[in-house]
Amino acid sequence: SGGSDNADGGDTGGEKSGEKSGEAAEGEPSGEQVLNITDSAEIPTMDPSLATDAVAFQWLGSTMDGLYRLGEDAELEPAIAKEHKVSEDALTWTFTLREDATWTNGDPVTAHDFVFAWQRAVNPETGSEYGPYMMNGVIKNAEAISSGEMPVEELGVKAVDDYTLEVQLEKPIPYFLSLTAFGTFLPLNQEFVEAQGDKFGLEANTILSNGPFKMTEWKHEEGWTLVKNEDYWDAEKVNLEKINVSVVKETSTRVNLYDSGEIDAAALSGEFVQQKAGSDELKVEEEPVLFYLKMNQQHEVLGNVNARKAIQMVINREDLVNVILANGSIPAVGDIPQNFVKHPETGEDFREINGPLIETNVEKAKELWAKALEEIGKDTVNLELLGGDSEVAKEMDAYLKAQLEQLEGLTVTVKPVPFKERLRLDTSMEYELQNAGWGPDYIDPNTFLNLWVTDGGNNKTGYSSEEYDALIEKANNEYATQPVKRFETFLEAEKMLIQEDAVIAPLYQRAVAKLWKPYVKGVITNPMGPDYTYKYAYIDKK
């Protein structure tokens, strides 16, 4: 999920399972095909253009099909698109759509639905935040349209006929296909959407589905019910008859519900992982979501690279993941999570190749810090750390404070702020230190590394390096069609970012520990977009 700054615990990011479809092969659907699960928050909206958070994308993903969808092992599998062709210059993508897909109101799903949806997403009047964010610089003219300088019709997307969709890109985008599986790129039935007006996507009856499930009941804040969409083009592969979702926010409540058999899955916090250790129902799934300390370089001390390096080095990440998180999260030692992208040829993991870019060394950290203070000419420093608001945030903040304060002369004040307020402080760079996170919007190193280019929308550290900018630029333009070179450039960029310039202090790569009833099978976990794919899930209650 893009920009998941808040993805701090197993919470806001929805729930993840360690269930791999590998196990799916073992069983057979048997018994009542009903899945009872929880989510951690109410769905803000089911309008794909307006959706911004993980909960919304999760349930959009379950009820709708885009051009492609994420399958096992994050492989893209055809959905509404049967196949696609890419032009020589990699700028024109032509999708051939299947003809048997329909909306739940009986209308066929056509290329026009995509044109309408994408135009709607960048249309400034829609007020979409993700539309322009995902499409600007990707789809031709998106930027100009979203700033109102060009009519929406100019968007580089066109229905050649009912079942042929042609997309013009701004520049070659190697990962474009993975974008088409993202929620913002889902199709919309124009007639239906316009008929609902303001109410579109707000109630179960103001939603139109074309995916494996459809929402039949939506009790706000309490929960919702999805049932199998019998008209789905791939309906025979869908086993679950019903998914009942309840909103539960307390972990202990969730665990109690799970233990009492009322729900089939429960995400755990560290304390419960400990309690459930040894249970074969406990699954740990690592996610490509990275957490790090963001340091504002406009701050006199944090502008000093030695100071930043000291901060990188002083934190003990092992303790952090083992004791505080204790849910299978792993220490982060770079900007790219492990098991996220692989070398296009050797298939070696990005993380593996670059290895740990930082180490924990308190002595050295202290030296660097002393040096930094000397350079700046200060004895004591007070830094403000924006606190998080998740379940473990308090402990995490307390821990970071204690760790950082090992540096002589440093005092850290924790300032707890609501999530939205933190976003604002981030945007306006009115922070000194903050514990931030990032999850991929698409499967490509660019989604992480692109953040730190000069004036990047989510940079907000004040980091600006011509060299670094040049590397990213090169990877995305010059090497756009040369995967290996591109990959190597990214490797180089990460080293520069973390090792040389110490822009951020990576903390950990998140994992989610979750209890799954043994009879639930075939749930797929995704690294981006919707957290889970329930399309192939089934209940095996032999």
Partner 1 sequence: MARYIFQRVLYMFLTLVLIATFSFFLMKMLPGTPLTMEDKLSETQKEIILEKYGLDDPVPIQYLKYMAGLAQGDLGISFQFDNREVTDIILSRIGPSMQLGAQALLIGTALGMLLGLISAIYHNGFLDYSSTFVAVIGKSIPSFIFAGLLQYYVGLKLGWFPVALWGTWEHTVLPTIALAMFPIAIAARFMRTEMLEVLGSDFIQTARAKGVNKFGVVFKHGVRNALIPLVTVMGPLAISLMTGTLVIEKIFAVPGIGEQFVISITTNDFPIIMGTTLFFSFFFVFIILVIDLLYGIIDPRIRLAEGEK
Partner 2 sequence: MDNSKPSKDLFVPVDLKDSESERLTRPSLSFWQDSFNRLRKNFGAMAGIVVLLILILMAIFGPYMNKFDPYSQNLDHSFIPPKVPVLENIGWLGLDGVETAIIEGETVESAMTTVKLRMGPENAEFVETRVISEGGNGEPAKIEAKLDIYKAKNIETSYWFGTDSLGRDLWTRTWHGTRISLYIAFLAATIDMVIGVIYGGVSAYYGGRVDNYMQRVIEILVGIPNLVVVILMILIMDPGILSITIALTITGWISMARIIRGQVLKLKNQEFVLASQTLGAPDNRILKKHLIPNVTGLIVINTMFTIPSAIFFEAFLSFIGLGLPTPTASLGTLIDDGFNSLQTNPHVLIYPAIIISLIMVAFNVVADGLRDAFDPKMRE
User: Whole-number minimum distance, CB 472 to partner 1, in Å?
Assistant: 18
User: Whole-number minimum distance, CB 537 to partner 1, in Å?
Assistant: 22
Place of tokens 């199998």: 228
Of 254 and 510, nearer to partner 2 (C-beta) is 254
User: Whole-number minimum distance, CB 111 to partner 2, in Å?
Assistant: 47
| Residue 408, number of CB atoms within 10 A of its CB | 12
- Please answer whether residues 540 and 39 qualify as being in contact, where contact means their C-beta atoms are separated by less than 8 angstroms: no
- In the list partner 2, partner 1, none, the entry touching 124 (Cβ below 5 to 8 angstroms by class) is partner 1
- In the list partner 2, partner 1, none, the entry touching 427 (Cβ below 5 to 8 angstroms by class) is partner 1
Q: Does 274 bind partner 2 (CB under 8 A)?
A: yes
Of 413 and 427, nearer to partner 2 (C-beta) is 413
Reduced DSSP (H G I as helix, E B as strand, rest coil) percent helix, strand, coil of the chain, to 5 = 35, 25, 45
The amino acid that residue 374 corresponds to is E
Among 94, 102, 190, 316, binds partner 2 (CB under 8 A): 316
- Please answer whether residues 467 and 452 qualify as being in contact, where contact means their C-beta atoms are separated by less than 8 angstroms: no
The amino acid that residue 3 corresponds to is G
Mark the segment that binds partner 2 (CB under 8 A) among 111-119, 125-133, 194-202, 265-273: 265-273
Of 38 and 63, nearer to partner 1 (C-beta) is 38
Mark the segment that binds partner 2 (CB under 8 A) among 110-118, 277-285, 442-450, 484-492: 277-285
Q: Does 255 bind partner 2 (CB under 8 A)?
A: yes
User: Whole-number minimum distance, CB 138 to partner 1, in Å?
Assistant: 13
Closest CA to 255 of 280, 278, 282, 224: 282
Of 350 and 431, nearer to partner 1 (C-beta) is 431
Closest CA to 540 of 28, 36, 37, 35: 28
Among 160, 195, 235, 323, binds partner 2 (CB under 8 A): 323
378-417 positions binding partner 2, by CB under 8 A: 387, 389, 391, 394-395, 397-399, 401-402, 413-416
| Residue 167, number of CB atoms within 10 A of its CB | 25
Of 52 and 239, nearer to partner 1 (C-beta) is 52
- In the list partner 1, partner 2, none, the entry touching 160 (Cβ below 5 to 8 angstroms by class) is none
- Please give the Cα distance from 67 to 207 (Å, whole number): 19
In the complex, the residues that contact partner 1 under the rule CB under 8 A are 3, 38, 41-42, 44-45, 47, 50, 52, 124-125, 127-129, 132-133, 146-148, 198-199, 201-202, 219-223, 246-250, 252-253, 256-257, 259-260, 262, 389, 418-421, 423-424, 427, 457
- Please give the Cα distance from 523 to 311 (Å, whole number): 40
Name the packing angle between helices 393-404 and 305-314 (round to 10°): 120
Place of tokens 């000291």: 310
- Please give the Cα distance from 173 to 171 (Å, whole number): 6
Q: Does 8 bind partner 2 (CB under 8 A)?
A: no
- In the list partner 1, partner 2, none, the entry touching 378 (Cβ below 5 to 8 angstroms by class) is none
Q: Does 253 bind partner 2 (CB under 8 A)?
A: no
Q: What is the DSSP string of 72-127?
A: GGG-EEESSEEEEEE-TTS-EEEEEEPSS-B-TTSPBP-HHHHHHHHHHHH-GGGT
What CA–CA distances, in Å, run from 518 to 145, 261, 277? Answer: 50, 12, 15
The amino acid that residue 162 corresponds to is D
Chain centroid to CA 104: how far?
28
What CA–CA distances, in Å, run from 435 to 59, 223, 324, 345, 390? Answer: 28, 31, 15, 35, 11
User: Whole-number minimum distance, CB 463 to partner 2, in Å?
Assistant: 28
Q: Does 508 bind partner 2 (CB under 8 A)?
A: no
- In the list partner 2, partner 1, none, the entry touching 271 (Cβ below 5 to 8 angstroms by class) is partner 2
Instruction: Give, rounded to a whole angstrom, the gap between the first and last alpha carbons of the chain.
Output: 36
User: Whole-number minimum distance, CB 146 to partner 1, in Å?
Assistant: 5
Could you list the residues that contact partner 2 (CB under 8 A)? 251-252, 255, 269-272, 274-275, 277-279, 316, 319, 322-324, 387, 389, 391, 394-395, 397-399, 401-402, 413-416
